[in-house]
Amino acid sequence: MKLRGYGTVTISKKGENWIANGHPWIFGSDVVRQDEGIENGSLVDVISEKGKYLGTGFISLESKIRVRLLTRDYQVSIDDAFFRRRIEYAWNYRKTVMKDQLSCTRILFSEADQLPGIIVDRFNDVLVSEVLTFGMDAHKDVIYDSLLKVLKEDGVSVRGIYERNDVSSRRLEGLSEYKGWYGDEDRGETETVINENGVLMRVDFENGQKTGYFLDQKRNRKKVAEISEGRRVLDCFTHTGSFALNCALNGAKSVTAVDISETAIENARRNAELNGADIRFITGDVFKVLEEVNRKEYDLIILDPPAFTKSRDRTRNAYNGYLEINSRAMKLLPRGGYLCTCSCSHFMPHELFEKMLSDAMQKTGIYLKMVSVSRQAEDHPIMLNIPETDYLKFYILQTV
């Protein structure tokens, strides 16, 4: 069956049920048949075994995820105007929910903005992108052009787009890894200084992790800063020093920041100097540092580790890692002290993370009450029908 000149992919009843629940992915294991000669990254119509139209999206011939849907509406044409509308929706949403942080915000968040396979962060006058799928890579020129036009019409000047396509997952799509200015024209410095929550932070978008800076914790950093006044803070896995700086500039009595990476500590120290903040830095393994710290030396401990797991089959190992580090932190806190702890892996769902915290309390004999629970900032929206978009969980707890 040919629908609009696109190739056709027929999927099983299982796959049909999966996308009927709202998920935009069709896995290769659910493909019953597909037209011959379909080019990698091209648009395809997805149909049921009974010939019912289910949606249109990009095909990835080398990925386990065979098709990522762009629309379920047969009347919608996938053209330049389509991509521009999606970008306008995304930008208008950020203008609504991130009014105070528009100069450093995520503009496009892949499936959550119905543009699967592309992430774009704004750092002042630079856009930093990750293009993760073959289909989106083939259409990135249209995406970038529309994005620049939408921002320009809104008075936003962009110096250039820097591509951080040095992502290993691109290999699963048959794409090469690279980074550099889009268009191969040097657009100047690859470091800029953003203002997040009143804190100045250097962003090295050429060499920093991901797009150069983790924007998803901005609201949680502010929450922690609000309870840090007069407290002795230990910021573990400090990375660029963002949590530590938010506390130091909001009245913390003292702040100590720890990271195993000498490069991270040096970057965090530079950020502290930029803000005139007094922070003690320690280069070392957080697990060992927590063993050496005296009990009651700190009354606010922040645990913001990298993802302990990036796959479902390693969840048990990750669980044990979270259990151990949270147990060590709990044992150090005095009565009335605060533990701020999180996980950035969607393979560690809220219910499992809370079970870990409960197990840690039983293990240590120390009990905590829940002060607040939050997720990623609003510029990283969560689609209720796409669990993968709900990845960051952040808990503030107090010992009783």
Per-residue model confidence as pLDDT tens digits over 5-47: 689 999 999 999 999 999 999 999 999 999 999 999 999 999 9
> Which residue type sits at 347?
F
Measure the N-to-C terminal CA separation of the chain; round to a whole number of Å.
65
pLDDT of residue 2: 47
Backbone φ and ψ for 395, nearest 5 degrees, come out as -115, 135
Categorize the per-residue pLDDT at 1 as very low, low, confident or very high, splitting at 50, 70 and 90.
very low
Give the tokens for residue 152.
């320009």
Categorize the per-residue pLDDT at 316 as very low, low, confident or very high, splitting at 50, 70 and 90.
confident
CATH fold of 80-190, please?
Answer: Transcription Regulator spoIIAA (3.30.750)
CATH 2.30.130.10 fits 7-71, yes or no: yes
Per-residue model confidence as pLDDT tens digits over 334-348: 999 999 999 998 888
> Residues of CATH 3.40.50.150 domain(s) within the chain?
214-399
More confident residue, 316 or 133: 133
CA 167, chain centre distance (Å) = 14
Please list, in sequence order, all residues whose beta carbon lies within 8 angstroms of the beta carbon of residue 389, skipping any fewer than 6 positions away.
Answer: 109, 110, 111, 112, 346, 380, 381, 382, 383
pLDDT of residue 383: 96
pLDDT of residue 3: 52
> Residues of CATH 2.30.130.10 domain(s) within the chain?
7-71
CATH class of residue range 214-399: alpha beta
pLDDT of residue 70: 97
Is residue 308's pLDDT more than 90?
no
Per-residue model confidence as pLDDT tens digits over 280-307: 999 999 999 999 999 999 999 999 998 7
Is residue 310's pLDDT more than 80?
no
